[in-house]
Chain A
Amino acid sequence: MKRLLTYARLSWPDILRHKSYSIFVVLGSAIAFAFITVLMQIYYTVAFDRPPFSNAGRIVKIESFHGRDGKDVRALRDSEMQDFAGCFPDVESCAMLSQQLSNTYVGDAIHPLMLYFTNPGFWDVFDFRFLDGRPFSEADMRDRAQVAVVEKNLAQELFGSADVTGRGFQYLGRTFTVVGVVDSFIEFPDNGSALGNIWIPQIFNEKLSNDTPSALYLLFSRDLDAREIRNEVSTCSVSYFNGRDIMVDCPTESVRTLHDQRGDGWFFTWGIWGILFILVLVPSVNIISLSSANAYNRLHETGVCRALGASSSSSFANLMTEHSILVITGVIIGILLVYPLTSALNAVLDAGVFRISLFSGIDAMVIVIFVLPVFVLFSLLSGGLPAWRISRKNIADSLKGNIVS
C-alpha cells in the first residue's frame, strides 16, 4: 500500500505536467469504453437471456410450415392457434402477438402508434419487469375490460410521467385504462420483429383478418431440454397438420428456440467480438504510441528508482500506476457517457414507428464480467508494452537518459 501510494505520488505530477497526453488518454478511454459498455450490455442482455427473454431457451416461435414439396402451406389462423398449442403436451403457455399502426388519443393530442394486441399468456411467456400495476388477465378478456400495459419510456412520452396506472387513452372511440407499466428493455427478439411497447387485449383487434395472423410463441416446460423441445415441436406440428389432411415437413433440426435463433446470426456469434476487438485495438494503438513517448519521459525517474532498489517488476508497476489512473478515470467517464450516447442512438432508432430500444440501462454484472476484464486488457495493451520496455532497460543507460540502448 505504501509503495502504491508512492507510485501514485510519483505519477500525479507527471499527469499534471503532461496535460494534453493525460486528456487524450482519458477521453480516448472514455469514448472507447462508452461504446464497449453499450455493446457488452446488449450482448449480456441477449446472450444471457435477460428479461423479458429469460425463458428464451424454451420459447419456440411458430413460423410458417412447408409441405414435402418445399412449398409453403397455409399459415395458422388466429382462431386455430389455441387448438394448435393444445397439441403440445409440455407447453406451459402460449403468446399471440399482432400489431397495427393506429391513431390513439391522450386527451386531445393524437399519437400515431404501433399498437400490440396480445393474450394473457404473453405475460407468462415473456417476463417483463413490472414497475407498477399488473398484466391483463383471462378475467379481463372475459369481461372485455378495456385495459392496457405500457412500457416506461412510452408512458413518459405519452403522459409525461411513468406513473400512469389508472390513466386512459382512446383508440377507435374506446377508452383504455393503463393497468400496468413495464420497465424498458432491449428489443432484440427474433428475426427483427418487435415485442412492442403498448399492449391491449387481442379481442380488440377488430381489423385483423385471417391474412395477417398473429405471431405465436410457445413456452415449454423447464423439464425439457432443447433437443426434447425440438422433437416435440416437430412431431406434434406434423401430427396436427396430418389430422387436417395437410402434409407438412418439419424436421427437428429446423426447429429453433429464441435462444438458438440469436446464435444463428453473424452478429452474436462473431460480429460482436470483431467490433469489440476493433473498439479495443484502435484506441490502444493510438494510446500505445502516446504512452511510449510518455514512458520515455519517465526513463530517468525509472532509472533512479531501480538504482535505489526497485526491481524491474516494481518499476513496471510504477509506470502502470500512472497509466491505470488515467484509464480508470476514462472508464468511469465512459460509463457515465453511456447514458447520453445511448439516448442519442435510441433517438435515431426511435425515429420510426417501431420504436426499437437499443439500450435500457446497465447491469452491474456487465461491468464486472465484461468491462473490467476489457479494461485490464486495454490497459496492458496500451500502457503495458511501453512500460515493460522502459522497466527492463539498462539502468546506467536510463540514468543517462539514453532512449536507444
Chain B
Amino acid sequence: MLELRHITKVFRTREMETYAIDDVSLAVRKGEFVSIMGPSGCGKSTLLNIAGLLDEPTGGEIILDGQNVEELDDKGKASIRNSKIGFIFQSFHLISSLSIIDNVILPLTFRNGVSHSRSVQKAEALLEKVGLSHRMHHFPAQLSGGQCQRAAIARALVTDPEIILADEPTGNLDSRNSEEIMHLLETMNASGKTILMVTHSDEIARHTGRILMMTDGHISVSSKNASL
C-alpha cells in the first residue's frame, strides 16, 4: 500500500547539517493500522509529512500503490493528496471562516466532476456518521476540540481515500474525547481503511495493530501490538 524506501531528511544551516530522518524504510500494508511512537523531536511528524507529500525528503522514494509518487510534479502530488490520502492533524486545521460542512466539502472542490449537491450529500452523511449533523452549519470556533477533530475526520474521509495519515489526532483532546476519536479511527480501520498514525502516547498506540518506535531519526523497533 505505502512504502517508504531509504527516506532521509536533512536540515542544513551554514554551520551544520541535522539529520531529522536518517535512512528510514517502512512498509504499510493495505488495511493495516500502524502507529509511530517516539519522543518529541525524533522525526515522526516529519516522516508522516513526507509520507503524505506535505514535505520533500532529501533522499529516498515514496511508493504508493506501486507508484513512485516522489517523481510526480506539483499537480500530480496534489492529485494524490486529494484522491488517495486523508489527513487528520493534531490541531485539526479547519478553516475558521468556513462552516463545518464547507470545511468537509473543501477537498471535493479541488476535484473535477463532483457536483455541489453530491458533495453536500456526502458531507452530510459523514457528519451524521461522526455525530455532528446538528453542528454542520456552525463554525469551528463554536465547536469543542473533540467536535472539531470529528469534523476533521469527516473531512479526511470525504474523498474516500485509501490511506489515512493521522498526526497526533488526540494530542489536543481530553481522555474522553481521545477515546471517542480512537473509536472512530478503529471503525474506519475495520471498514478497510489503512491508517498510519503518529503519537507519543502508549495508551493511544495500543489501539493500533503495529507500533513502530522512532528515536533520533531512525526506526528502532517494530512490534505487533499484543493488545489486539
Point out residues on A near B: beta carbons under 8 Å: 2-3, 6, 9-10, 12-14, 17, 300-301, 303-314, 394-396, 399
Contacts and interface: CB of A to CB of B under 8 A. Distances in A.
B97 A311 contact: no
Interface in B60-101: 74-75, 78-79, 81-83, 87, 89, 93-95, 97-98
B113 to A, nearest CB: 10
A304 B159 CA distance: 15
A14 B98 CA distance: 11
Contact of A309 (B46, B56, B81): B81
Given A308-B81, A394-B55, A396-B49, 13 more contacts: A9-B102, A10-B98, A301-B97, A308-B87, A308-B106, A308-B107, A309-B81, A309-B83, A311-B74, A312-B78, A394-B54, A396-B46, A396-B54
Contacts of B111: 309
Nearest to A1: B116
Interface residues of B, number: 29
Contacts of B75: 311, 313
B146 interface: no
B52 interface: yes
B155 interface: yes
Contacts, number: 76
Contacts of B82: 308-310
Contacts of B52: 307
Contacts of A313: 74-75
Contacts of A399: 54, 89, 93
B155 A308 contact: yes
Contacts of B56: 394
30 contacts: A2-B116, A3-B109, A9-B98, A9-B102, A10-B97, A12-B97, A17-B97, A300-B93, A301-B95, A301-B97, A304-B106, A305-B95, A306-B78, A306-B81, A307-B81, A308-B81, A308-B87, A309-B78, A309-B79, A309-B82, A310-B82, A311-B75, A312-B78, A313-B75, A314-B78, A314-B110, A394-B54, A395-B55, A396-B55, A399-B93
Contacts of A396: 46, 49, 54-55
Closest 4 CB pairs of A and B: A309-B82, A13-B97, A311-B78, A309-B110
Interface of B: 46, 49, 52, 54-56, 74-75, 78-79, 81-83, 87, 89, 93-95, 97-98, 102, 106-107, 109-111, 116, 155, 159
A336 to B, nearest CB: 30
A395 B48 CA distance: 13
Contacts of B93: 300, 303-304, 307, 399
A306 B109 CA distance: 12
Contact of B110 (A10, A308, A394): A308
Nearest to A315: B78
